[in-house]
Chains A and B, each alone.
Chain A
Amino acid sequence: MSLFKFHSPFLDDIKSKGVIPASLAKVNETVERLTAGLDIQDIRSMLRGDPAPRPNPRVKPHADSFWFHMRPTYYHNLVAGLYPSFRLGWFSTYFFFFETITGVILMFYYTPSPLVAYENMLNILGNVPFGRLMRDMHKLGAELMVLVVCLHMLRTFITGNYKKPRQFTWFTGVVLLLVTLFLSFSGYLLPWDQLSLWAVTIGASMAEAIQPEAVGVVANLLLRGGPQFNANGLLRWYLGHVLLLPLVGFIFLGVHYYKVVIHGHSLPPEGEAVGEDTAKRVPTDQRTYFMPDVITRELFYFSVTTFLMVAACVFFYHAPLEPHADPLVTPLHTTAPWYWLWLQGMLKVGDKFFFGVIMPGIIFNGLMVIPYLEVGPSRRYGDRRIGLTMGFITCAVLAILSYMGTARYAVSSSPDQEVVAELLPQVEPGPLRESNWEELTVGVWNTEQYSDASLNPTMQHLLGVYHEELEHAKSNPKCIRENKCLTDGEGVMTIENWQDGLKKITFRLTWDGGPGTDRVCAPGAQHEFCQTAYLHRLSNYAQGE
């Protein structure tokens, strides 16, 4: 019966050669298949540093393997190392995949609903082993990715690598920059804490400012899923964060990298003649082959970067988690993430529509068209003085605008609020919450007691800060100009035992003689400001989140 005949070449081999030689040959064959062309001998000679034989088996993976077909077979010697590109493009891609992996892990534990999102965060941090590590790495990766992508753009601009024929590569790169910025910004909203809600609300309010009003209203509704952020908005931004933006990013990454490879990585400007693009034609003696030299470098960068990321997150970088989002309470001094501070700074200059919509539109569109405007053939620094100067001026202006975006510039609530906000900030724990609970001594304390040596260090520190802020609020150039100084200001801090392990701390500021009645902290009192905080022994704000 020959309906089914079992035939195995492997068994034939064993018969003819013996078990061990046949097994070794099988392993060798498997390795060659997995690497798409390199058997064990080839790999050994590659790693030993032997010169490549002819024909060169090390280029076979680039022809036969999907993963390696995308990578160049060789680089020019001048661009194979860290300098001059610092491999920032490589690092950008590394972070893209790092974020995808940590992001998918976090997705297992997250539901995009305002009713449970915050609870999910507490679950991840308090109930999922490695949860905090994954979240911290995801956040650190996001911040570093924005930084690396910006540095990559800056480096490409400085070395003039956007010039012909690479104009479209630059364009796709600017799109990728926008994708990165919005990925980071949309991720901000997901924890649904105070920072999430208000930072993204500020951002979306710029959409509302679009003129004509009808367009602005619709844009706002599309972005927020309603007049204010709630369940619809969160779902929308979540889908953007995990589906739309990664998809767009992936597509443009493909186009971007493909173009980089087919044009070849530009040489340093002084490495080739003006107006020539010799990147693709690399003489044999100038080649650094991907296998083994570049791939081993990349594996090295991968190992060291991953180690540094994990070490940073284990030992000192922790993503903060503020209190639950509250649509009725805007925290004082809420700011945008650092890469949007320049935009927040611009908004403080003038009209929301012009500085929040028109100007950023001009800036990003301007970025996209640089290669089509700056068409001089030379990439040499000496020949591009105007362009480079404009670039550096732009960086300086962005830095200044970013400072203007911080809470230190042009934000004024009343001076009494500012004094207390130094001790009890609304966007971070602050000195009071991070102080040693046991050392908070029950009693009524005046700021004048800050120098009392009989007090413990915690009380001295807190009263010291209180005293300093109050002295500043009594007289400084800004309050004099606005006639809002707290003349004859007096500060009192009352600490009471409230419940088991719970202390109640009340700050009371009076100035210009106080409210004039004997009632303390009555609502609507003149020349008086009170703020209360409750602090539990175990709440441990100093732990990092």
Chain B
Amino acid sequence: MSWRAILGTLSLVLTALLFGYVAVTEQDRMAQFQLAYEARQVEVGAALFENNCTTCHGVNGEGIVGVAPALNAVDLLVSIDGKPPARLEEIKWAGAPADYVRSAIAGGRPRASQAFSTYPQRMPTWSQEFGGPLRADQINSLVSFIMNWAVELEKSGAANATPAPPVEGVGKDITVELPTGNAATGKALTEKIGCVACHITAPVGPAWLAAGGTAGIGARAEARLTESYTGKAKTPEQYLFESIVDPSAYIVSGGAYAANGVSLMPATYGDTLTKQDTADIIAYLETLK
């Protein structure tokens, strides 16, 4: 019987020692565990982002002009010198960037008044709480993924980078002479800048491609000047030029393309496109018959 007593007592002592060992290592283990699960949240969020968000916000969260703002952006995610990110400061958001992102995803965004909206489509409501498809934990995963961009942005010093020198925009004068345009470059540009989001993928503006009985935009530009046209263009090329840099000059009929006479298309392209860019895009549009 005594061997049982010895072994039994030894077991109890060893059990107590094991509990002591766990007690000592527990804080570290728990910290590691939390890191591991936050990391997994980012992974889940990445997959959710790919499936739900890239069509509007871009594959890398860079945003699509006229469709949805950039998420992978310093002015959304990064505090500089203790001040909140620029976009949050502007709307006087009182909380953390992560909370702002979560509220935007969960509640969505109604379409702002047509006079002020640069994003004509509304952002869908995602939270199941408000009738959307995603659970709270899925939304938290998305937030983790989006906030993970802040790490990169802070690391790469993008916050402190000098802003890129402004582009020499083509301006709003449609009589300016343009260089020869390259249709292939123009096509790539329309995809990069995001024109296709409104004019091809889900036409919010007049569809560029021929469909049904309607001709493509290249052919329509030629026909346009003979109808009830109110703009200043004299040639089809000038018409296309005008529609890019001064969209409100003439509103095409047959769709909800304007509010109070102001076109829904952003009027900023005159500042952001160079002459060559514009020429390339026009060359491409002319090929779309």
A→B interface (CB under 8 Å): 49, 115, 118-119, 122, 125-127, 129-133, 292-293, 296-297, 299-300, 302-304, 306-307, 310-311, 314, 323-324, 498-502, 504, 532-540, 543
Contact = CB atoms under 8 A, between A and B. Distances in A.
Interface string B1-32: 10011011101101100110111001101101
Contact of A324 (B15, B47, B135): B135
Contacts of A132: 29, 33
B76 to A, nearest CB: 15
A310 B9 CA distance: 15
Interface in B198-222: none
Contacts of A306: 11-12, 15
B22 A540 contact: no
Contact of B32 (A129, A297, A543): A543
Contacts of A543: 32-33, 36
Contacts of B9: 303
B39 A310 contact: no
A57 B33 CA distance: 55
A534 B11 CA distance: 45
B8 A304 contact: yes
B113 interface: no
Given A130-B26, A499-B149, A539 B4 contact: no
B151 A500 contact: yes
Given A314-B21, A536-B42, A538-B39, A501 B151 contact: yes
The secondary-structure label for the interface of chain B is helix
A307 B39 contact: no
Contacts of A539: 36, 39-40, 43
Contacts of A302: 8
Given A499-B145, A536-B43, A126 B136 contact: no
Contacts, number: 119
Query: When A and B form their complex, which 4 residue pairs have the shortest distance between CB atoms, in order from nearest?
Result: A536-B39, A307-B11, A539-B39, A534-B46
Contacts of B99: none
Contacts of A299: 8
Interface centre among A292, A296, A299, A499 (most CB of B within 10 A): A499
Contacts of B223: none
Interface centre among A49, A118, A323, A536 (most CB of B within 10 A): A536
B137 interface: yes
Contact of B11 (A133, A293, A303): A303
Contact of B42 (A130, A304, A311, A499): A499
Given A125-B33, A127-B34, A314-B21, A498 B46 contact: yes
B148 interface: yes
Interface string B170-184: 000000000000000
B1 A538 contact: no
Interface centre among B47, B135, B155 (most CB of A within 10 A): B135
Interface centre among B11, B26, B29 (most CB of A within 10 A): B11
A299 B8 CA distance: 7
A126 B155 CA distance: 28
15 contacts: A49-B1, A115-B136, A125-B30, A296-B4, A303-B7, A303-B15, A310-B15, A498-B46, A499-B152, A501-B39, A538-B39, A539-B43, A540-B36, A540-B39, A543-B33
Contact of A502 (B29, B37, B42): B42
B193 interface: no
B271 interface: no
Nearest to A328: B133
Nearest to B5: A296
Given A118-B137, A499-B46, A538 B8 contact: no
A498 B155 CA distance: 15
Nearest to A122: B37
Contacts of B137: 118-119, 324
A19 B7 CA distance: 39
Interface centre among B8, B18, B19, B21 (most CB of A within 10 A): B8
